[in-house]
Structure 1
Amino acid sequence: MANDRSCRGPAPSGWRKRLCRLLGGEPRDKNQLLEILRDAERRVLLDRDGLSMIEGVLQVSDLRAEDIMIPRAEMVTVRRDAALEDIFAVAVESSHSRFPVTGEDKGEVLGILLAKDLLAYCSRANTRPFNIRDHLRSAIFVPESKRLNVLLKEFRSSRNHMAIVVDEYGAAAGLATIEDVLEQIVGEIEDEHDFDEGAFIFKRGKGEYTVKARTSIEDFNDYFGSELSSEDVDTIGGLVVHALGKLPVRGERIEVEGFRFTVLRADSRRVHLMSVRASTAVERGGDQSGSRSR
C-alpha cells in the first residue's frame, strides 16, 4: 500500500509520476481500456448500450472506407442519359434518397442525383423538360484506405451524406454513407423500410440480406434452401462465433458454405445483427417482407 499513499495528495512528478502510472493500473493500450470498460459494465457502472457505443467509437478509427462500403456491383445508380421514367422507376423500387449518376459504366461516377429533385416532375402541371445535368450535384471521392473517423469528420464539415469510394486507378469501387459510419457506433439504424417487429430475415437486394443473430439455423436453412449444420449450435449468431473461434466485433467477416457473414451489431457479450451475402444460396422469390420466427 506504500505506493498507494505516495500517489495521494498533490500531483506526483518525475520518477514518482512514472511509478504511479506503472502501479496504478492505468490502461496502456486500447485492449486494456476496453477491459476496464467491460469490467465497469459488469459492475453496473456502465449500461450495455453505453458500452457498445464506446466500443464502436474506439473501433471506428481502426476501420476504413473499404470495410463498410457498398460494392460497385451493388450500387443503385442512374445513367446520365436515362429517361425520366426510368429514373422514377429506380427511385420508387429502391426507396433511396441519393443516386450516383454514372457514365458508360458504374466505375465512372459523374455526380449525385437527389430523389427530392425529382418531385417537381411528378406534377402534370410541370411542363419543363427534364435534363439530369440541371440537377447533378458534386460527388465527394475518397480512397478505399480512408479511416472512418476521418470520413465522418469530412461528412460533417461538407454536409454531404454520401461518398464515392475509389480504387487506386480512380474508378468507383463502391460507396459509403454517413449512416454506414454512424452504424459502426450506434448499431444498425432501422427505419420504416427495415425489419418489422417479428421479422428475422430481411431481403435488401439481389443476394443481400440482413439477419438477426438469434435466427435459428433451421429457419435460416428453410429460407435459403441451404444445409448449414446445427449439430454444435442452434442459431446463426452461434454459428458465426463458432466458425471464428471467438466473439467477433463489428465489421468482422467470415464465409461459411457459400454465405458471407458481416457483423453489423455486437457487444462484449454477443452478436445481434449480421449482413449476409448469399453467393451460392438458392434465393426464394416473394420473400421481400422478411422471414418470421416460428
Structure 2
Amino acid sequence: MSEDDSSTYPSDASDKPHEKRRSWLDRISSALSGEPTTREDLVELLRDAQADGLIAADTLAMMEGAIGVSDLSVGDVMIPRSQMVVLPADEPLPGLMKQVVESGHSRFPVHGEDKDEILGILLAKDMLRAVVAGDDEGPIGIHELLRPAVLIPESKRLDVLLREFRLSRNHMAIVIDEYGGVAGLLTIEDVLEQIVGEIDDEHDDAEDPNALIAAQADGQYVVDALTPIDDFNERFGADFDDDEYDTIGGLVIAAIGHLPEAGEELTLGRFVFRVSSADARRVHAFHVGILGDA
C-alpha cells in the first residue's frame, strides 16, 4: 500500500461511528432504566419509596430537606439583624453576664461603638471560665475573651456554608450585606434545621399544648403538625396510637402516603384533616373537623 493510499484510511475512522452508536444506546438505556436523571426525578423516586413503605415520612422529609439546601442561600434563612442578640464591648462583665443568662444562647456577636462594627464572638463558656478564674488572675476584659468572627455574604449557598462550618468547626457566621453592614447571623443549627426540621434545646420554651390546638368560630380547629399525639388524644378524646409516630403530623403524613400539599384531605376515624399550611419540606398545620359535630 502506497503512502497516498494509507491516507484514505484514518486510524480512528471505524471507531467514531461505533462510539456514537454506543453513546446513543447508553442514553436510550438510561431513559428506559427508570433511573433518576434530574433532581425532580430523584425526589419523585424517594416519594414513591415512602409511599411503598420503604422509608418513613420523617426520613423522606429529611432527604428532601438535604436536597433542597443546595437551592437556598444564606439570606433565605438567616436571623435578621433586628432579632440578633448582640453585646456591647464597653459593657462591664456583670452586665454582660445578665444578658447572656437571660437570652439562653451560647454565642454572642460583640460590637464596638457601632453595631456594624463586629469585634468578635463571645462564647458563654469562655465568660464562665473568666468569671471563675477572675479572683486568682484579676479582672479580665471582654476583648481578651473574643474569638474571631466569620463574615459571609447573603448570597452564599447554604450547602457551601455547611461544609465550611464542618471544616472550620465554627458554629456562627455574621452575614454582611452589599454595603458592608450587618444584615443578620446564621448558626450551624439554623442550617441543619433546614434538613431535619426544628431543633429544640434545653433553653427553648416548652410548647403549650393549648397553643398548638386553636378552636375556630366555625367549630373546626387549627392543629399544629408538631402537636404530640398524646396531647391530641387528650384534647379530643381520641385514641390514636403513638407507638410509631410522636406527632399528629407524622401520623397523618404516613396515612396519606406522601408529603401532602396544602388543601389535601384525609379522614381518620371521626376526624377530617385538611392540610392548611405546608412547604416542600414538611407540613406545618391542619384544619381539623370532627364528624358528627353540629
Same fold per superposition (TM over 0.5): yes
1:260 corresponds to:
none
Matches within 5 A, 1:183-222: 183-196=193-206, 199=209, 201=211, 215-218=212-215
Q: 1:23 to 1:231 in 2, by over 3 A?
A: farther
Q: 2:222 matched to which residue of 1?
A: 235
Quick one: distance in 2 between partners of 1:121 and 1:197?
A: 34
SS in 1 for 2:35: coil
Q: In structure 2, give the amino acid aligned to 1:142.
A: I
2:122 aligns to what SS in structure 1? strand
TM-score (norm 1): 0.67
The structure 1 residue matched to 2:47, chosen from 16, 35, 38, is 38
User: Which of 113, 117, 138 is the matching residue for 2:122?
Assistant: 113
Q: Return the letter of the residue paired with 1:235.
A: V
SS of match in other structure, 2:135: coil
Percent of aligned pairs with the same residue?
48
TM-score, normalization by structure 2: 0.67
4+ residue runs over 6 A deviation: none
What letter corresponds to residue 213 of structure 2 in structure 1? S
1:21-49 Cα deviation digits (max 9, x unpaired): 22233323222211111110010111222
Alignment of 1:60-139 (within 5 A): 60-123=69-132, 125-126=135-136, 128-139=138-149
Cα offset, 1:198, TM superposition = 5.3
Give aligned pairs, total. Answer: 219
Counterparts of 1:200 and 1:177 in 2: how far apart (Å)?
A: 30
Structure whose residues are more often helix by fraction: 2
> Aligned AA for 1:249?
A
For 1:199 and 1:162, locate their aligned partners in 2 and report how far apart those are by CA, in whole Å.
Answer: 32
1:103-157: CA deviation from partner (whole Å, max 9, x where unpaired): 2232221111111111134347346122111111110011001111000011011
Work out whether residues 120 and 126 of structure 1, in 8 Å CA contact, stay in contact via their aligned partners in 2.
Answer: no
> CA RMSD of the aligned region, Å?
2.8
Letter of the 1:217 partner, please give it: A
Contact kept in structure 1, 2:171 and 2:187, CA below 8 Å: yes
What are the Cα deviations for residues 242-268 of structure 1, in whole angstroms up to 9, with x where unaligned?
6x9874135xxxxxxxxxxxxxxx1xx
**5+ long unaligned stretches in structure 1:** 1-11, 202-214, 219-228, 251-265, 274-294
The whole-number CA distance in structure 1 between the counterparts of 2:181 and 2:66 is 30
Q: Which moved more, 1:122-131 or 1:34-43?
A: 122-131
Give the unaligned 5+ runs of structure 2.
1-20, 226-260, 264-274, 287-294
